[in-house]
A = this chain, B = another copy of it.
Amino acid sequence: MRPSPYERHRGLIQSVARTLAAGGRCRPFTEATGQDAADAGMRSTRTAGKVFDSLLGKPFDLGQPGEAGRARTESSPYGGDLGISYPRCEPSELVAAAGRAAAGWRAAGPYQRAGLAVEILRRLNTRSHELALAVHHTTGQPLSAALRAAGPRAQDRALEAVVQAFTESEHVPADLRWESAQRRGRPLAMQGTCTLVPRGVSLLIGCPDFPLWNGYPGLFASLVTGNPVIVAPHPRSVLPLAITVRVARQVLAEAGHVPDVVTLAVAEPERQVHRRLATDPEVRIVDFTGSARFADWLERHARQAAVFADRSGLNTVIVDSTEDYQGLVRGLALSLCLCNGTVRTTPQNILVPERGFATDEGHKTIRDLGANLGDAVDRLLGHPARVGRVLGAITSDEVRGALAQAARHGPILHASAPVPHPHHPHADVRSPLLVRLRASDESVYTREWPGPVSFLVGTDSISHSLALFRRTVARHGALHASVHSTDPLVLAAVETAALDAGAHLTVNLADLPADPSSALADPPGTAAHFVTGRFRVVRSRRQAPRAAPQPAKAPPAELEAASVAVADSGPGARLVDV
């Protein structure tokens, strides 16, 4: 007999659980990708390339119910139309199929579900390079960045979600025994069971920049807590999630489960499949990472569901002082460039006192910083080989429009210009735009600008910077914030302001927010609500069989009725009516 999925992966699950409980991090997939990658069965780049090529220009089959046509919505900024046609299924049919699959998945229990989730991740791990190519060609990210965001690190992040969901499930006590309150000196022995009841059909709305990195935590947390998941990718980036769904369905089917526990919902944008699914009465969980605008829409309209929305918001850098001016400039310049046009992690608002700030190279004005940043960007992009590794290719007209519009709002410190890509002459690759604004231009810099748009915002003082940061980020959110200061008092004030604003903070470190593995990784132990909001606990109780032999018909109803109706002892009896 083959071991169950849980038995097969028990060691891994338990060791990750122990590490997380101790406040550590666990990265088995990442750690295995060095010399052990081949042993771990990961396909080589060459094989992955062949597999990827074999997908192009063909129907992508999933065997899902309710197929009503085919949808082709992707084009590579590096290589034209991918030509992959996905099944376009009726949203209502997908919801119905998920509903039918729900009972069996609930009955599988957390052990089997966690085991199968790890098995899915293990198989995805062997296809990391194929997934990276899919992310590269649909999001425009450089290939190395795509591998970081779609490969072993994303799988490790998913594994943490699996183990957190499993651990929370284990916290639900399966069997309870207690004594009912003592009445007339006779406690009633009770027993009960608690059952984790999944919330219902879960919807993952894929994002166009980090479809796997941002998608996996919700997908796997929902699966392990027993909810079937409909995966609805962004039309521009379907393939990474489509491969994921196909692997999941294969693992489910091999284990004897209805594969419709996980399905893919793709359609042309005008069909509004996200909105239709998010407002379906049977959809009870929605995961989304992206613009505050759509997050607000979801929270307003997906009223029947628990909405887990991560707003990208206004990523902010606060500059107060530094002991490493060159490092600060280089780091900031890199973060302006990295993956530009493809991700929403670019630091948008750089808050600097108008009158300048202290550095190891003396006092620097905001004008100095603007000029030095522009030069540093040009130096960084001066090596053609680096361009392909650092810059992304622009996939969306929205980004092109934003670049044109933002340039009209203030003096341009660095203009966004086309940059030739070393390998893909037709790719639309552009350098970042940096615009100088005043603090009073709040209506400009409190909008969420897509692509490589950044503002150098002059403030009256560091206190003014802090007040702006606190107010704008508390209102609009942020994926990250960072501060550069040599003053412990300022650092303490910024840390408090970050708590007020609810923003994660990086202190005196190079700004590399566009690398999700460093910027967006959640530390362990912080995601309880993310997991526990996906289920509730239902209990049943009955009288426990007595240890000593008793009359067969020891009647519980009589016991309780008699004891309450003629209650003459216990705390209640000590009170007299007044």
Cβ of A573 under 8 Å from chain B: yes
Could you give, for residues 545-578 of chain A, a 1 whenever the CB lies within 8 Å of some chain B CB and a 0 otherwise? 0000000010111111100111100011111111
Distance between Cα atoms of A560 and B555 in the complex (Å): 73
B25 to A178, Cβ gap below 8 A? yes
Q: A532 contacts B524, CB within 8 Å?
A: no
Q: Which of B326, B509, B524, B564 contacts A560 (CB 8 A)?
A: B509
A517, B181: Cβ atoms under 8 Å? yes
Whether A324 contacts B423 in the complex (CB less than 8 A), given A504-B538, A541-B506, A567-B389, comes out as no
Q: Distance (Å) between the CB of A329 and the closest chain B CB?
A: 8
Task: Flag the segment in A1-9, A115-123, A141-149, A403-411 that touches B.
Answer: A141-149
Flag if B553 contacts A360 (CB, 8 Å): yes
Interface-centre pick from A505, A515, A557 (highest chain B CB count, 10 A) = A557
- A192 touches B (CB below 8 Å): yes
Instruction: Find chain B residues with CB under 8 A from A33 CB.
Output: 571
Q: Which residue of B lies closest to A376 (CB)?
A: B561
Q: Which of B34, B168, B324, B390 contacts A528 (CB 8 A)?
A: B168
Residues of B within 8 A of A151 (CB): 571
Q: A529 and B529 in contact (CB under 8 A), knowing A145-B572, A503-B538, A518-B180? A: yes
Contact A564 B334 (CB under 8 A): yes
| A271 at interface, CB cutoff 8 A | no
User: In the docked arrangement, what's the CA distance between A343 and B147, Å?
Assistant: 59
Which residues of B are found within 8 Å of A542, using beta-carbon distances? Answer: 506-509
Whether the pair A561, B502 counts as a contact (CB closer than 8 A) is no
Q: Residue on B with the closest CB to A573?
A: B144
- Contact between chains at B505 and A540 (CB < 8 Å): yes
> Does any Cβ of B come within 8 Å of A173's Cβ?
yes
> Please, how many angstroms separate the alpha-carbon atoms of A404 and B302 in the complex?
39
Which residues of chain B have C-beta atoms less than 8 A from A503's C-beta? 538
Known: A338-B564, A528-B532, A558-B324. A572 touches B144 (CB 8 A): yes
Contact yes or no, A575 B45, CB < 8 A: yes
The complex places the Cα of A195 from the Cα of B526 at a distance, in Å, of: 9
Contact A528:B528 (CB < 8 A) given known A509-B543, A557-B327? yes
Q: Quick one: which of A388-402 are within 8 Å of B by CB?
A: 388-390
Is A539 located at the chain interface by the 8 A CB criterion? Answer: yes
CA distance A565 to B424 in the complex (A): 19
Question: A113 contacts which chain B residues (CB < 8 A)?
Answer: none
Whether A417 is near chain B, meaning CB under 8 Å from some CB there, is: no
Contacts of A566 in B (CB 8 A): 386
Within 8 A of B (CB), among A478-512: 495, 498-500, 502-512
Give chain B nearest CB distance to A8 CB in angstroms: 25
Listed residue (A128, A300, A502) with the most chain B CB atoms within 10 angstroms of its CB: A502
Interface size on A, residues (CB 8 A): 115
Question: Cβ of B176 and Cβ of A523 under 8 Å apart?
Answer: yes
Residues of B within 8 A of A24 (CB): 178
A444 interfacial by beta-carbon distance below 8 Å: no
Q: Which residues of the partner chain B approach A389 to less than 8 Å between Cβ atoms?
A: 565, 567, 572
Q: In the complex, which residues of chain B have a beta carbon less than 8 angstroms from the beta carbon of A426?
A: none
**Cα–Cα distance between A172 and B523 once the two chains are bound (Å):** 9
Residues of B within 8 A of A323 (CB): 553
CB–CB A324/B571 < 8 A: no
8 Å CB interface, A138-172 against B: 143-145, 147-148, 151-153, 168, 171-172
CB closest residue in chain B, given A145? B572
A489 to chain B, nearest CB (A): 16
- Chain B residues with CB below 8 A from A152, complex form: 571
Beta-carbon contact of B528 and A388 below 8 Å: no
Q: Across the interface, do B144 and A538 meet the contact criterion of CB distance under 8 Å? A: no
From the candidates B511, B556, B567, name the one contacting A510 in the complex (CB within 8 A): B556
Which chain B residues border A388 with CB–CB below 8 Å?
Answer: 577
Contact check: which of B148, B424, B500, B539 meets A572 at CB < 8 Å?
B148
A280 within 8 A of B: no
Asked if B555 and A324 make an inter-chain contact with CB atoms under 8 angstroms apart, the answer reads yes
Query: Would you list which residues of chain A between 426 and 472 have a CB under 8 Å from chain B?
Result: none
A509 and B539 CA atoms in complex are apart in Å by: 14
Q: In the assembled complex, which residues on chain B have CB atoms less than 8 Å from the CB atom of A558?
A: 324, 326-327, 330-331, 510
Complexed CA–CA distance, A512 and B180 (Å) = 12
Q: Which of B168, B181, B504, B517 contacts A30 (CB 8 A)?
A: B181
Partner of A197 from B333, B424, B499, B537 at Cβ < 8 Å: B499
Kindly list chain B residues whose C-beta atoms are within 8 Å of the C-beta of A423. 577
* A567 vs B388: C-alpha distance when bound (angstroms): 12
A418 at the interface (CB under 8 A from B): no
A539 to chain B, nearest CB (A): 5
Q: Which residue of B lies closest to A144 (CB)?
A: B572
Known: A45-B574, A144-B567. A495 touches B153 (CB 8 A): no
23 A–B contact pairs at CB < 8 A?
Answer: A45-B576, A52-B578, A128-B571, A132-B575, A143-B576, A144-B567, A151-B571, A171-B528, A194-B525, A195-B499, A197-B499, A326-B558, A330-B561, A331-B556, A334-B564, A386-B565, A390-B565, A502-B538, A503-B538, A509-B557, A512-B560, A526-B537, A533-B533
